[in-house]
Amino acid sequence: MSTPSPQETAESQASAALGREDVAGPGRDAVAGLGREDVAQLARLARLALTDEELDHFAGQLSAVLDAVAAVGKADAGDVPPMTHAVPLTNVTREDVVTPSLPRDVVLAQAPAAEDDRFRVPQILGEEE
């Protein structure tokens, strides 16, 4: 067979997504792994400023976890539909009527910073990124 398996395709796409070529992917028998750089990149995507110690520590731990969870690949589930939810509900609607919202001052009282009846946030525009 010359066509790549779904896993192989997934691996190469993910390698590209992570900006590197040497990702060991989650093949049926392959040992999955997450390197320090992978963890750093994932943490950036998730807005987590991990420390060097955490990066070292998590890379090993997460590789072990990934090895374990890769076992889902053993299931013969080709035509099985994915289950997203235990309750088969779709499009739960209600009458479009106005109900009271929480008072603004009550909500803003719990904000880390507020100004002029609004949430105050760090500058968004004009950043280099």
Partner 1 sequence: MTAPVNTDLTQLDAAELGRRLAAGETGSVELTQAYLDRIAAQDDVLGAYLHVDAEAALARAGEVDAARAAGAELGPLAGLPVALKDVFVTEGVPTTSGSRILEGWRPPYDATVAARLKAAGTVLLGKTNMDEFAMGSSTENSAYRPTRNPWDPDRIPGGSSGGSSTAVAGGLAPWALGTDTGGSIRQPAAMTGLVGHKPTYGSVSRYGLIAFSSSLDQAGPMARTVLDAAVLHEAIGGHDPRDSTSIDAPVPALVRSTQEGARGELAGLRVGVVRELGGDGHTDGYDPGVLDRVRETVELLAGMGAEVREVSCPAFDLALPAYYLIAPSEASSNLARFEGMRFGLRVGDDGSHSLEEVMSLTREQGFGPEVKRRIVLGTYALSAGYYDAYYGQAQKVRTLITRDFTSAFDDVDVLVSPTSPTVAWPIGARVDDPLAMYAADLCTLPASLAGLPAISVPCGLSEGLPVGFQVMAPALADDRCYRVAAAVEAALDATRGSRFLDELTQRTAA
Return the number of other C-beta atoms located less than 10 Å from residue 67's C-beta.
16
Residue selected from 1, 46, 97, 98 as contacting partner 1 according to rule CB under 8 A: 46
Distance CA 57, CA 60 (A): 6
Minimum distance between the CB of residue 22 and partner 1, rounded to whole angstroms?
14
User: Does residue number 98 form part of the binding site for partner 1 (CB under 8 A)?
Assistant: no
Residue selected from 21, 97, 106, 117 as contacting partner 1 according to rule CB under 8 A: 106
49: DSSP letter: -
Residue selected from 4, 20, 113, 115 as contacting partner 1 according to rule CB under 8 A: 113
Closer to partner 1 by Cβ: residue 1 or 92? 92
User: Does residue number 87 form part of the binding site for partner 1 (CB under 8 A)?
Assistant: yes
The residues near 12 (Cβ < 8 Å, ≥ 6 apart) are 4
User: Does residue number 3 form part of the binding site for partner 1 (CB under 8 A)?
Assistant: no
DSSP structure string for 88-121: ------------PPPPHHHHHTTSS-EETTEE--
Q: How many residues bind partner 1 (CB under 8 A)?
A: 70
User: Does residue number 24 form part of the binding site for partner 1 (CB under 8 A)?
Assistant: no
